[in-house]
Chain A
């Protein structure tokens, strides 16, 4: 005799389990059965939350995921498109398995309103009701801190390429049409921003291309921070060893103004004339977070309870990924790690039980410094009961040196994490 899951749930809810274990009445499939979760955003965090709520509730919780893009494009490793190591196609995945294998209702639409009282999400083409809502909108850009820059200019002339996709392709094309002896300028926003080592990795990928095709050219990094914010020694070594004389690093260089037609970036100290201008604007939680009312007053990010990722500002709304206000790196792996703790907590809370009180999550982030070599930063983050926040556990850190082995591991990381999120 073999009970399938639904029969078993019916059976267990019917008596024996409840009678024998009265403290455990809220097994999944109890109160949580048939509950509705809506996930907004199908990036690393949102897609993982959707998949894991289905998986860990054994399919008893209904999950609808709303994503405005038809396909998933990985931001991690998208800098390698600039060197020619990968194409955007290599980083693009479908949402099919979330639908067909995991039973997630994937809706290709955009959120226009959220009513936290009525617990509804209004889309351009419909409305959804939720018991719990997961907001995973990633980042949006703060345009008005840079005169002359806006969403349109970033599409046409000065791509940020900080969300992988069309702008990544545009930036690669601009690099290809740059003259030998030209300047490729990258501006780095003040922390916190998505993917702290990303701009420095990008400088490597661009320099790798230039070294082969346009060796008289230069990369200028205009960093709003007062120093390289991640893997500093490793990046310095890579720049010196692999691309000597090609990468100029300017600290405390906040871009205040751009001239799109002339490709000029202006900081407090200088005007930098470039052939390709890649301004990465300052960031804040994605716009949906504001619609949900989960952004901290006057702030840019969303405060949460780290046991459940429930917003401290709105009941029944959880926030995961880059939008979260935390001393956690804004990375793809971190978003998936948060998503799983959030998924587990949502199932627990829907069932009327307390979430895991002692979460520990990990982050591994590789940076490709050429088309073969990489280095990483790895950390475990643990819940600190007194501080009520996630703190870095001892023992984490960066690679001793860049290696080809890590370059290979970075590829395996990409393959495995994309499967974990979407397959």
Chain B
């Protein structure tokens, strides 16, 4: 968590944020690690190459809402209702941060 935030802050101080997208500052390594497992179906960093939704650059509120809907059963799914139940709401937010920060 520390490293990206620190780096972003330092860059922000020095070069006025031109080198790194602002959103990077909010994303922790823990969020990145949690999001890693999604890649098998949704591609590296959410860049799905076929079939499944692209998560890279997804609006964070939409991501969180969808995951909560899968978890509660409000939205039916083939697979995602099962994965969603394995994570906490806080973890949905972390993953949402990570994917929102990825360039589409």
Residues of A bordering B, CB below 8 Å: 1-3, 8, 11-12, 16-17, 20-21, 23-24, 27-28, 52, 56, 333, 336-337, 340-341, 344, 348, 351, 353, 356, 358-364, 376, 378-382, 393-397, 399, 403, 405-406, 408-409, 411-413, 415-417, 419-420, 423
Contact partners of A415 in chain B: CB under 8 A = 49-51
Q: Return B20 CB to nearest CB of chain A, in Å.
A: 9
Q: Which residue of A lies closest to B18 (CB)?
A: A2
Residue B48 interfacial (CB < 8 Å): yes
Contact pick for A2, options B7, B10, B19, CB 8 Å: B19
Q: Is A353 touching B87 in the complex (CB atoms < 8 A)?
A: no
Tally of chain B residues near chain A (CB < 8 A): 41
Contact pick for B43, options A52, A406, A419, CB 8 Å: A419
B:10-34 near A, CB below 8 Å:
10-11, 13-15, 18-19, 29-30, 32-34
Instruction: Mark B72-89 against chain A: 1 for CB-CB distance below 8 A, else 0.
Output: 000000110111111100
Q: Return A246 CB to nearest CB of chain B, in Å.
A: 28
Q: Return B47 CB to nearest CB of chain A, in Å.
A: 8
Q: Is A394 touching B2 in the complex (CB atoms < 8 A)?
A: no
Q: Is A413 touching B6 in the complex (CB atoms < 8 A)?
A: no
Contact partners of B41 in chain A: CB under 8 A = 364, 409, 412-413, 416-417
Contact pick for A406, options B7, B48, B78, CB 8 Å: B78
Q: Is B36 touching A411 in the complex (CB atoms < 8 A)?
A: no
Q: Is A56 touching B32 in the complex (CB atoms < 8 A)?
A: yes
Q: Is A376 touching B33 in the complex (CB atoms < 8 A)?
A: no
Cα of A397 to Cα of B80 in the assembled complex, Å: 11
Cα of A356 to Cα of B50 in the assembled complex, Å: 31
Q: List 17 A-B contacts (CB under 8 A).
A: A12-B10, A21-B6, A52-B36, A336-B39, A336-B40, A340-B36, A341-B36, A344-B32, A362-B37, A380-B37, A380-B83, A380-B87, A396-B86, A413-B40, A415-B50, A416-B48, A420-B39
Grouping DSSP codes into helix (H, G, I), strand (E, B) and loop, the B interface class, with mixed when no group exceeds half, is helix
Asked whether A362 and B51 contact (CB < 8 A) given A12-B7, A341-B33, the answer is: no
Q: Return B42 CB to nearest CB of chain A, in Å.
A: 7
Q: Which residue of A lies closest to B86 (CB)?
A: A380
Contact partners of B83 in chain A: CB under 8 A = 362, 364, 378, 380, 395-396
Q: Return A4 CB to nearest CB of chain B, in Å.
A: 9
Q: Is B85 touching A393 in the complex (CB atoms < 8 A)?
A: yes
Cα of A48 to Cα of B92 in the assembled complex, Å: 24
Q: Is B86 touching A3 in the complex (CB atoms < 8 A)?
A: no
Cα of A220 to Cα of B66 in the assembled complex, Å: 44
Contact partners of A340 in chain B: CB under 8 A = 33, 36-37
Count: A-B pairs, CB below 8 Å: 153
Cα of A413 to Cα of B18 in the assembled complex, Å: 36
Q: Is B6 touching A24 in the complex (CB atoms < 8 A)?
A: yes
Cα of A364 to Cα of B41 in the assembled complex, Å: 8
Q: Return A125 CB to nearest CB of chain B, in Å.
A: 32
Q: Is B6 touching A382 in the complex (CB atoms < 8 A)?
A: no
Q: Is A362 touching B10 in the complex (CB atoms < 8 A)?
A: no
Cα of A20 to Cα of B7 in the assembled complex, Å: 11
Q: Return A3 CB to nearest CB of chain B, in Å.
A: 5
Q: Is A362 touching B78 in the complex (CB atoms < 8 A)?
A: no
Q: Is B79 touching A378 in the complex (CB atoms < 8 A)?
A: yes
Cα of A408 to Cα of B78 in the assembled complex, Å: 12
Q: Is A412 touching B52 in the complex (CB atoms < 8 A)?
A: yes
Residue B38 interfacial (CB < 8 Å): yes
Residue B91 interfacial (CB < 8 Å): yes
Contact partners of B19 in chain A: CB under 8 A = 2-3, 8
Q: Return B14 CB to nearest CB of chain A, in Å.
A: 8
Contact partners of A381 in chain B: CB under 8 A = 86
Cα of A72 to Cα of B33 in the assembled complex, Å: 25
Q: Which residue of B lies closest to A413 (CB)?
A: B41
Q: Return B10 CB to nearest CB of chain A, in Å.
A: 5
Cα of A28 to Cα of B29 in the assembled complex, Å: 12
Contact partners of B29 in chain A: CB under 8 A = 344, 348, 356
Contact partners of A403 in chain B: CB under 8 A = 78
Other 10 A-B pairs with CB < 8 A, given A27-B2, A360-B34: A12-B10, A27-B6, A336-B39, A344-B36, A364-B41, A380-B85, A395-B84, A415-B49, A416-B50, A417-B39
Asked whether A408 and B85 contact (CB < 8 A) given A333-B40, A361-B37, the answer is: no
Q: Which of B34, B36, B71, B78 gathers the greatest number of chain A CB atoms within 10 Å? A: B36
Q: Is A356 touching B33 in the complex (CB atoms < 8 A)?
A: yes
Q: Return A76 CB to nearest CB of chain B, in Å.
A: 10
Q: Is B85 touching A396 in the complex (CB atoms < 8 A)?
A: yes
Contact pick for B79, options A27, A336, A360, A364, CB 8 Å: A364
Q: Is B11 touching A8 in the complex (CB atoms < 8 A)?
A: yes
Contact pick for A27, options B3, B15, B34, B36, CB 8 Å: B3
